[in-house]
């Protein structure tokens, strides 16, 4: 009655205020408003849990707590939300209870639609899953917080384990003084370091297995979960969805036996705990596949014989031209402690890159072909020397680690000089002056005199340095005016000392040394020694001496010798 009065007043208002031309449109609007007043407001609810993808209605099993939205008719004459009861039924007003326990979403929709068609004439019946149920599962075994956790039907085994504190990690005890916690993006290791280890303490390695996880369903079914395989390969089947009443058991990991391994030319070589049903392709996938230089035509399988000691080696041939045979080989079952080896192709894409710097037309890096990797070839490709190049001081440095490492020199660097023997000190002093990796190449002989014996074969990462002509000689030490002086060809050491103002009064002329610009060698020199461009002349200082102390020491030694002589003389006289 009240609604009819409202409609009458609205119509009267429109009639009095509107013209006859728009009366029809106003009445249409009034009819639409009346329809809206009759139509109940639809209830909309969003799914509360984040989803990794849309719900598959054929696979999703409904259970207590799931919320469904029912919409009947094109104009939604009837809408209602129903929640699956703890007994597995859905109560629909004016229809009653519909038992949908243990049914898939597709099956439940069909059963509810049949019940609704007995009440409503409209064939347009839609049912939507609008909210996922939450339920509890049990997580036990090698996790930090075993017990019940709350999940949804769209959660997987790995998420339940994370809610239970995640997998237990191994404990390592080292006998030292400090404690260190190491955290990386991939894992967190707690390393306990103590000065004294209690011998009576029992230290158990309770590292959790990430591959042999067991899920027991309420219906008695047992499902395996392999979280490590899921993490490494993205295999969703290895990380199944959870169901009401699941019990997840995480065992401890086997460390020493019962493992499988893949080594060689794979991107992530490693060993893994064995899982019954593992195949060659599973291990290859967990190793992230072949590297670019892998010989993918064959895989070597090493397996223990029945005596548990000896092993046998089998070559698994992969033929790209026969995909069916290759598929069968990759499906070869593995046994505990099997090992796979993938060989790399020898010298695959062998790269020879060298660097040239200094007084060269086009300095930089150059890639060399195997048959053209001599020094002269690189110089030619780099455009040749500039006019300022000093061939006399040019050199080649071999930077490959195997050529420059010197274990003996590294050992001596860790020692105190006072603890070295005389030979070790001499060796250490000599090696300290050397240019590490320097090669004995005479650029003048090669490029000016055509001596091909100096045209060395270059190796990867070699460095060619062409310095500029310095045109100076350095004089330092005990001279009147030390410094740099213009180089004059064919002039000896005496000339440069005179240019520096001559010797100081305390110059130690017997210990003069010339430091060669090219090699860094210290050469004993005298006034007539020839000097090359860039050389350095060093004149040391005479050491300070206490002549009075020397005199006293000499008198004491003379007295001792005289005493010994008298004793011997008297003894022989008797």
Residue 118 CA to residue 99 CA, distance in Å, equals: 16
pTM summary value: 0.60
Q: What is the mean pLDDT of residues 150-159?
A: 91
pLDDT digits (tens, 9 = 90+) for 49-89: 567 668 888 888 888 888 999 998 877 778 889 999 988 89
Residues making up the chain, counted from first to last: 574
Q: What is the pLDDT, as a whole number, of residue 438?
A: 80
pLDDT band for 277, please (50, 70, 90 cuts): very high
**Residue 265 sits in the same domain as residue 365:** no
The answer on pLDDT for 290 being more than 80 is yes
Q: What is the 3-state secondary structure (H, E, C) of 262-324?
A: EEECECCCEEEECCCCCEHHHHHHHCCCECCCECCCEEEEEEECCCCCCEEEEEEECCCCCHH
Burial class of residue 394, CB neighbours in 10 A (0-12, 13-18, 19+): buried
Domain boundary among 342, 369, 390: 342
Q: Kind of pairing, strands 89-92 and 96-99? A: antiparallel
The answer on pLDDT for 24 being more than 70 is no
pLDDT digits (tens, 9 = 90+) for 87-145: 889 998 888 899 988 888 999 999 999 888 888 877 788 999 888 888 999 999 999 99
**Residue 438 sits in the same domain as residue 506:** no
pLDDT band for 348, please (50, 70, 90 cuts): confident
Q: What is the pLDDT, as a whole number, of residue 340?
A: 96
Residue 197 CA to residue 193 CA, distance in Å, equals: 9
pLDDT band for 432, please (50, 70, 90 cuts): confident
Residues 6+ apart with CB under 8 A from 435: 395, 397, 519, 520
> Among candidates 468, 479, 573, which has minimal Cα distance to 517?
468
Report the chain's C-alpha Rg in angstroms. 45
Q: Is 277 left (phi over 0), alpha (psi -120 to 50) or beta?
A: left
**Residue 446 sits in the same domain as residue 359:** yes
**Residue 364 sits in the same domain as residue 450:** yes
Domain CATH code at residue 319: 3.10.560.10
CA angle 561, 562, 564 (to 5 degrees): 65
Residue 477 CA to residue 434 CA, distance in Å, equals: 22
Residue 16 CA to residue 354 CA, distance in Å, equals: 97
Q: What is the pLDDT, as a whole number, of residue 354?
A: 93
Q: What is the pLDDT, as a whole number, of residue 242?
A: 92
Instruction: Give how many domains the chain has, as a whole number.
Output: 4
Domain boundary among 342, 373, 393: 342
pLDDT band for 498, please (50, 70, 90 cuts): very high
**Residue 317 sits in the same domain as residue 382:** no
Residue 95 CA to residue 127 CA, distance in Å, equals: 15
Q: How many CA atoms lie within 13 A of 462 on its CB side?
A: 21
Q: What is the pLDDT, as a whole number, of residue 519?
A: 73
Residue 223 CA to residue 232 CA, distance in Å, equals: 20
pLDDT band for 1, please (50, 70, 90 cuts): very low
pLDDT digits (tens, 9 = 90+) for 541-564: 887 766 677 777 788 888 888 788
> Among candidates 405, 494, 394, which has minimal Cα distance to 448?
394
Helix, strand, coil distribution of the chain in percent, nearest 5: 30, 30, 45
Does 245 reside within a domain? Answer: no
Does 52 reside within a domain? Answer: no
Q: Could you tell me which residue, 29 or 378, shows the higher pLDDT?
A: 378
Residue 271 CA to residue 339 CA, distance in Å, equals: 8
**Residue 357 sits in the same domain as residue 461:** yes
Residue 500 CA to residue 503 CA, distance in Å, equals: 8
**Residue 485 sits in the same domain as residue 457:** no
The answer on pLDDT for 339 being more than 80 is yes
Residue 128 CA to residue 71 CA, distance in Å, equals: 9
pLDDT band for 217, please (50, 70, 90 cuts): very high
Q: What is the pLDDT, as a whole number, of residue 189?
A: 61
Residue 341 CA to residue 321 CA, distance in Å, equals: 22
Does 86 reside within a domain? Answer: no
**Residue 407 sits in the same domain as residue 502:** no
Does 574 reside within a domain? Answer: no
The answer on pLDDT for 173 being more than 70 is no
Does 187 reside within a domain? Answer: no
pLDDT band for 19, please (50, 70, 90 cuts): very low
Q: What is the pLDDT, as a whole number, of residue 402?
A: 62
Q: Kind of pairing, strands 180-183 and 188-194? A: antiparallel
Does 462 reside within a domain? Answer: yes
The answer on pLDDT for 273 being more than 90 is yes
Domain boundary among 447, 466, 485: 466
What percent of the chain clears pLDDT 90, i.e. is strictly above it?
Answer: 41
**Residue 388 sits in the same domain as residue 288:** no
What percent of the chain clears pLDDT 70, i.e. is strictly above it?
Answer: 82
Residue 317 CA to residue 320 CA, distance in Å, equals: 10
**Residue 375 sits in the same domain as residue 458:** yes
Q: Is 261 left (phi over 0), alpha (psi -120 to 50) or beta?
A: beta
**Residue 461 sits in the same domain as residue 476:** no
Average model confidence (pLDDT) for the chain?
Answer: 82
Q: Is 65 left (phi over 0), alpha (psi -120 to 50) or beta?
A: left
- Between the alpha carbon of residue 279 and those of residues 91, 237, 260, 338, the distances in Å are 49, 15, 10, 10
CA angle 475, 477, 478 (to 5 degrees): 110
Q: Which domain holds residue 445?
A: 353-466
Q: Give the position of tokens 């340095």.
A: 465
Q: What is the DSSP letter of 241?
A: B
pLDDT band for 205, please (50, 70, 90 cuts): low
E strand segments, 94-241: 96-99, 125-131, 134-141, 147-152, 172-175, 180-183, 188-194, 213-216, 222-225
Does 138 reside within a domain? Answer: no
Listed range (30-39, 474-483, 521-530) with the worst mean pLDDT = 30-39
Helix, strand or coil for residue 491?
A: coil
Does 111 reside within a domain? Answer: no
Q: What is the pLDDT, as a whole number, of residue 197?
A: 56
Q: What is the mean pLDDT of residues 387-414?
A: 81
Q: What is the pLDDT, as a whole number, of residue 447?
A: 92
**Residue 490 sits in the same domain as residue 437:** no
Q: What is the pLDDT, as a whole number, of residue 361?
A: 95
Helix, strand or coil for residue 353?
A: strand
> Among candidates 351, 450, 459, 468, which has minimal Cα distance to 397?
459
Q: What is the 3-state secondary structure (H, E, C) of 447-479?
A: HCCCCHHHCCECCCCCEEEECECCCEEEEEECE
Q: What is the pLDDT, as a whole number, of residue 99?
A: 92
Q: What is the mean pLDDT of residues 435-450?
A: 86
User: What's the count of helices (H) and strands (E) in the chain, helices before strands?
Assistant: 14, 28
Residue 543 CA to residue 74 CA, distance in Å, equals: 112
Q: What is the pLDDT, as a whole number, of residue 50?
A: 67
Residue 32 CA to residue 205 CA, distance in Å, equals: 74
Q: What is the mean pLDDT of residues 240-259?
A: 91
Q: What is the pLDDT, as a whole number, of residue 554?
A: 81
Q: Could you tell me which residue, 238 or 566, shows the higher pLDDT?
A: 238
Helix, strand or coil for residue 24?
A: helix
Residue 352 CA to residue 461 CA, distance in Å, equals: 7
């Amino acid at each position: 009655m009240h609604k009819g009065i409202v409609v009458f007043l609205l119509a009267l208002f429109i009639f009095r205020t509107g013209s006859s031309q728009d009366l029809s449109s106003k009445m249409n609007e009034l009819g639409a408003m009346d329809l809206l007043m009759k139509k109940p407001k639809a209830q909309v609810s969003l799914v509360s849990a984040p989803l990794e993808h849309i719900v598959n209605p054929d696979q999703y099993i409904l259970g207590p707590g799931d919320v469904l939205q029912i919409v009947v008719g094109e104009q939604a004459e009837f809408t209602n939300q129903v929640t699956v009861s703890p007994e597995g039924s859905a109560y629909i007003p004016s229809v009653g209870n519909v038992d949908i326990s243990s049914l898939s979403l597709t099956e439940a929709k069909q059963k509810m639609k049949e019940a609704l068609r007995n009440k409503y004439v409209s064939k347009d019946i839609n049912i939507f899953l609008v909210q996922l149920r939450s339920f509890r599962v049990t997580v036990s075994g090698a996790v930090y917080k075993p017990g019940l956790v709350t999940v949804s039907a769209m959660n997987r085994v790995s998420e339940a384990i994370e809610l239970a504190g995640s997998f237990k990690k191994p404990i390592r005890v080292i006998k030292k003084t400090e404690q260190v916690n190491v955290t990386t993006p991939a894992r967190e290791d707690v390393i306990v370091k103590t000065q004294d280890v209690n011998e009576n303490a029992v230290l158990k390695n309770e590292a959790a297995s990430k591959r042999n996880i067991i899920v027991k369903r309420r219906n008695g079914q047992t499902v395996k979960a392999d979280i490590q395989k899921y993490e490494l390969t993205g295999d969703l089947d290895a990380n199944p969805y959870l169901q009401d009443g699941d019990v997840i058991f995480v065992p401890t990991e086997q460390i020493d036996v019962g493992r499988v391994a893949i080594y060689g030319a794979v991107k992530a070589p490693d060993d893994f705990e064995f899982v019954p049903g593992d195949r060659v392709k599973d291990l290859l996938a967990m190793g992230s596949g072949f590297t670019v230089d892998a010989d993918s035509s064959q895989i070597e399988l090493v397996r223990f014989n029945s005596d548990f000691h000896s092993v046998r080696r089998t070559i698994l041939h992969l033929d790209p031209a026969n995909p069916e045979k290759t598929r069968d080989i990759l499906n070869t079952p593995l046994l505990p402690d099997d090992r796979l080896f993938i060989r790399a192709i020898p010298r695959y894409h062998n790269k020879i890159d060298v660097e040239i710097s200094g007084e060269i037309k086009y300095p930089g890096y150059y890639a060399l072909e195997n048959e053209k990797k001599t020094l002269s070839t690189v110089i030619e490709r780099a455009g040749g020397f500039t006019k300022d190049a000093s061939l006399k001081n040019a050199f080649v440095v071999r930077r490959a680690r195997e050529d420059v490492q010197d274990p003996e020199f590294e050992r001596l660097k860790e020692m105190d000089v006072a603890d070295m023997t005389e030979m070790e000190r001499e060796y250490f002093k000599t090696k300290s002056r050397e240019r590490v990796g320097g090669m004995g190449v005479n650029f003048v002989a090669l490029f000016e005199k055509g001596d091909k014996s100096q045209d060395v074969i270059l190796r990867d990462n070699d460095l060619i340095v062409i310095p500029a002509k310095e045109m100076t000689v350095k004089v330092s030490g005990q001279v009147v005016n030390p410094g740099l002086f213009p180089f004059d060809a064919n002039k000896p050491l005496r000339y440069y000392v005179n240019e520096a103002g001559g010797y100081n009064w305390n110059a130690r002329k017997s210990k003069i040394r010339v430091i060669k610009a090219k090699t860094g060698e210290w050469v004993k020199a005298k006034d007539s020694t020839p000097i090359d461009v860039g050389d350095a002349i060093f004149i040391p200082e005479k050491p300070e001496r206490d002549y009075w102390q020397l005199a006293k020491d000499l008198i004491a030694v003379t007295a001792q010798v005289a005493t010994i002589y008298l004793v011997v003389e008297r003894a022989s006289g008797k």
